Every structure is written in C-alpha cells, then in structure tokens.
Amino acid sequence: MSRYELDHVRHDAVHCLAPGLFKALKRGERRSSKLDVAYEYGQQGHRVEFSGPEPLGADDLRVLQGLVALAGLEGKVLSPSPKSTVGVTLRQMLEPRWDAAGDNAVVVQCSYRRLAKEIGYSRVDCSKPIKACIERLWKVSIIVQLGEQRRGFRLLADYRSNEQPQGVHVALNPLLANAVLGTDRHVRISMEEVRAIKSETTRLLHQRLCAWINAGSTRKVQLMTLCGYLFSTEGNPAAVRKRLARVRQALNELNTLGWQVNEYVKGRVEIRRPPNNSHKVPF
C-alpha cells in the first residue's frame, strides 16, 4: 500500500485563479489587513467576491487543497435538506443564501493527523496550525454573481462534536463541491507535488500555474505578471527586485518537481507543465 492515499486534488478553478485570494503575506499583515477580492471570469456578468477579516496565505491554501482532495476520495454529498443532525448543523454553518439554498455541498471527515500527513506536514501530531487555517477559511464569505443569479455562502463550514474532539468534520461550499463531483470545470493538482514543495512562494505559484497551464502543455509569461499573482500591492524598486528573486527561486523549485522553466528572454519565461503521473517527485 502507498504511504499516501491522495494522488491528486480536483480543485475549483475560481478558487485557484482569483487574484489575491491566497498571497504572500508580510509579517503582521493578518492583523493589519482584510480579505477583499473580486474576480470576473468566464462570460460577461460572471463575478465572484471573497471577503473575510483576515487575508489568506500559503498555509491556508495548503490545508484547503488537502480538504478538497480528501473530499474527492471519500467525501459525501450534503443535500439542501440533510436528514442527520450533523448535516443540518453543517448546512446552517455554510450559510447558503439566495440561489445557493438549493445547491449541494460536500462533507469530508478525517483526523488532523491524517490531513497533516497527506499535505506534507513534517509534524503530523501538531493540529494547532491546521485548526487556525480551518477557522480562517470558515470566516470567508463568498458571493457569486451569474448574470441575474446570485448565490452566497461561506467558503467552508467547520463542525466538531464532543465525540470527535481531535477530528476534522467540514462541509465544502458548492463551487468546491461541483469541482470534486466533476460537474463543473476543475483544476487537477498533483498531491505528490504539493507534498514536495518547500517554499511558500512556490506553493502559491504552483496552484496558480496548475490552473493556467494544462498538464503536458507550455505557456509563456512575464516574471512581473507572476509577481502580480503573489503580491497584491505595488512596491518600490528594491522590493520589486526582491520579489522577482523570490519568483525565480520558486521557478527553480518547480524545475526540481519535473516542470521545465526557461527564461528565454530577460524577464520572460516559458513554462512546461509535466503530464499527469509522468514522474515521481523526490522528497
């Protein structure tokens, strides 16, 4: 049996592509700023808004990837009219509004230890940072506008019962549920690569590039564009140079994971994503 159960995550494209939803955070930024992200996508009039009391970083991204991956492996559909007490509680905590009241969600349950192992934590017995990430994610509200249709809900709902004090029991919002169930566009991300990534900058860039480049395909992009994915504020020349250096370091780490990155002109790179299951990532 493999050491790990999760091979990949089928993630929602909007959660992966929304600029600034997950970003590189400065020291103390969670105390001084809030999450306020709007992203227009697809057809005209399609817009999603994310808001919360704290910005989200690479640690939150990593935990959410693990939860979505676990939901794909063994998640259970949470219908608009759940029969169990736990289902009713999770549904209420997800706070579906307007047209979202009739959407399905997906429930995932596991131990903190298992989640930590599957996302590559070195200290699998320390649940405190994972709890903190789940609580930050729970505080995020989402409004989706599709023409005249409006849907609102929390990013996820977190439930803990007295019988399971050490467990994770969460409901994923309808956007994530549709990706997990394959009923909407989704992004396939290798959990083998997720576990091998060391740098927070690489982790943020990796998810964005997985949503932008199909497996086995190549795309070209400016390094400054990649900086814009990671850092939401403008910086002075010295700060920009440091950010470009971090992006180059992240691209170098992607090379070690089997990606191919070539800076063919100064400031512009060609990135090739490996085909699915094309290699084994070194740990």
Does 256 reside within a domain? yes
Q: Do 262 and 211 share a domain, yes or no?
A: yes
Q: Do 141 and 253 share a domain, yes or no?
A: no
Q: Do 153 and 72 share a domain, yes or no?
A: yes
The interaxial angle of helices 200-212 and 223-230, nearest 10 deg, is 110
**What is the distance between the alpha carbons of residues 41 and 137, in angstroms, rounded to a whole number?**
22
More confident residue, 159 or 230: 230
pLDDT for the residue numbered 236: 85
Among 166, 190, 214, give the residue marking a domain's end.
190
Q: Do 72 and 151 share a domain, yes or no?
A: yes
Does 1 reside within a domain? no
Q: How far is CA 42 from CA 13, 45, 75, 104, 192, in A?
A: 11, 8, 28, 22, 30
How confident is the prediction for the chain on average, in pLDDT? 91
Q: How many domains does the chain have?
A: 2
Q: Do 213 and 231 share a domain, yes or no?
A: yes
DSSP string, the chain: --S-S--EEEEEHHHHHSTTSB-PPPTTHHHH--EEEEEE-SSTTEEEEEEESS-B-HHHHHHHHHHHHHHHHH-EEE-SS--SHHHHHHHHHH--EEGGGG--EEEEEEEHHHHHHHTT-S-TT--HHHHHHHHHHHT-EEEEEETTEEEEEESEEE---TT-TTEEEEEE-HHHHHHHHTSS-EEEEEHHHHHH---HHHHHHHHHHHHHS-TT-EEEEEHHHHHHHH--S---HHHHHHHHHHHHHHHHHHHHTT-EEEEEETTEEEEEPPPTT-SPPP-
pLDDT for the residue numbered 163: 54
Among 164, 190, 216, give the residue marking a domain's end.
190
Does 281 reside within a domain? no
Region 171-184: mean pLDDT is: 91
Does 282 reside within a domain? no
Q: Do 103 and 183 share a domain, yes or no?
A: yes
Q: Do 149 and 222 share a domain, yes or no?
A: no
pLDDT tens track for 112-143: 999 999 999 988 788 889 999 999 999 999 99
Whether the model clears a pTM of 0.95, i.e. scores above it, the answer is no
pLDDT for the residue numbered 2: 59
Q: Do 205 and 177 share a domain, yes or no?
A: no
pLDDT for the residue numbered 165: 55
Does 22 reside within a domain? yes
Q: Do 92 and 213 share a domain, yes or no?
A: no
Does 3 reside within a domain? no
Q: Do 163 and 258 share a domain, yes or no?
A: no
- Domain of 231: which CATH number? 1.10.10
| Structural domain containing residue 246 | 197-272
Among 138, 173, 190, give the residue marking a domain's end.
190
Q: Do 130 and 69 share a domain, yes or no?
A: yes
Does 280 reside within a domain? no
Q: Do 203 and 139 share a domain, yes or no?
A: no
